[in-house]
Amino acid sequence: MVRPELRGTSLLEELIEFAKTELEPLGVRVAFGACEPHLLPLYIARGQRPYADRNINTPEAGYLIPLVEFHEDLDSLLGVGGAVDDDGRPALPPILQRVLDSDGGAVTSNLLTAREEYLDELRDAFEQVEREEVSAFAGLTEEETRRCVERSNIIECRAGDRVLKQGGVARNMFVVLEGVLEARSDGGEILGVLSAGDTFGEVAFLLEQPRSLDVVAVTDPTRVLSLSEGTVRRMIAEDPVVAAKLLLNLSKMLCYRLLRTNPA
């Protein structure tokens, strides 16, 4: 974990450059890693990509997205390990071919998918979301919604995946597109149930505090839209009218949640 005073500095670029310098003499051509959901746009922009059908749950770091990066042109990997195709010509090793064929695995990113294709997938999900009392994007035009979901990702979760970890410092927000999740206390007590249209993670964003609860997927499939903190904060500074609509909707949703918890 990066110390607070080093966040937003050039540390990441320095670490990536250092790693490449160390790995190149060793002949490393493919590197695997993982990151938290809120860092996906950052790593994708630097040439890494998600690939796994199942994300990782760790006690220490929480929910992680597996990533892969190719340090050389793919043609240079043909025939590695003696891999050949059906005609006997040099081919990519089967494991690398599966990575390339995965199309992002459990993650759909607007940075890796054609923009209209990505938006079409969101439109289908929003049809259900819009039937709720209020949704995160209620009252926004299609173009305003496009700006809100810039650099967002759709993450497919499995039952048991802990999407948010209590104490985590990330401040991205999530909209449930499909499935059911539970908000749980440190002792495992269920404090709330989230379904299509609900949001979570907004408290950490609004209060600029660590995550207060665990949020765990309980159904297969469960899909969530991860909204970049950076995008929303830029919108507040540069597109305040749209930001005000989004934040008002989030405030209304928090009020509805409070009323359901404490009707009095």
Tokens 């991860």 sit on residue:
226
Cα-Cα-Cα-Cα dihedral sign, residues 56, 61, 64, 66: negative
Find residue 155's DSSP bridge partners: 107, 224
**Class of the CATH domain delimited by 114-261:** mainly beta
- pLDDT band at 133, cuts 50/70/90? low
Read off φ and ψ for residue 109, nearest 5 degrees.
-115, 140
- pLDDT band at 163, cuts 50/70/90? very high
Domain limits, the chain: 4-105, 114-261
Q: State which H helix or E strand residue 242 sits in.
A: helix 240-261
pLDDT at 1: 64
140-144: average pLDDT:
90
